[in-house]
Amino acid sequence: MQPTALRRLAAGIALGLALPLAAAAPRDDLLAAYAAAAKAANPAFAGFSAERGQTLHTRQFAGGKPDTPACTSCHGPDVRGPGRTPAGKAVEAMAVSVNPSRYADPAKVEKWFKRNCNEVLGRECTPQEKGDWLSFMSAR
């Protein structure tokens, strides 16, 4: 192998390793912050549950807007597939496995949690709910 090719290979490996790490870091930081807040609110907090996150994602709530009773109202029944807002705008898949660029900007994540939880539940989501939901999307 030529030295240049070797260097390219090494660079490729370094990139290949660095990219997923870089993509996962903000999500891990978010989960850590939600865990700290959940623990502060409830000393018995014992970690997030993707299963509870799934329930939150699919449950029909009565406290929010009647035309969007569930997260799935806009994000669609399949987390690996696209969704659509009531005004007809397509929303890309939420599952990290098919959309790895998701949840990379903590301010964006927080902005939409605030909007969408109010929209669906009629209140903000708790740190535990956010962590559960994010764990569910990370596992899918």
Residues that bind another protein (CB under 8 A): 65, 85-89, 91, 111, 114-115, 118-119
- Per CB under 6 A, 133 contacts ligand HEC: yes
Of the candidate spans 3-11, 13-21, 32-40, 104-112, the one that interacts with ligand HEC by CB under 6 A turns out to be 104-112
- Per CB under 6 A, 108 contacts ligand HEC: yes
Residue 21 interface partner, choices another protein, ligand HEC, none, CB cut-off 5-8 Å depending on type: none
Residue 57: partners with Cβ closer than 8 Å, 6 or more residues away? 70, 71, 72, 75, 79, 133, 136
Query: For residue 112, what are the CA distances in angstroms to 7, 106, 119, 124, 130?
Result: 42, 10, 10, 10, 11
Size of the site for ligand HEC (CB under 6 A): 21
* Helix axes 3-41 and 127-139, enclosed angle (nearest 10): 150
**Which residue carries 């299963």 as its tokens?**
51
Q: Which is nearer to ligand HEC, 22 or 91 (CB)?
A: 91
- Per CB under 6 A, 1 contacts ligand HEC: no
Residue 41: partners with Cβ closer than 8 Å, 6 or more residues away? 126, 127, 128
- Per CB under 6 A, 5 contacts ligand HEC: no
* Residues lying near ligand HEC in the complex (CB under 6 A): 68, 71, 73-75, 85, 87, 91-92, 102-103, 108-109, 112-113, 115-117, 119-120, 133
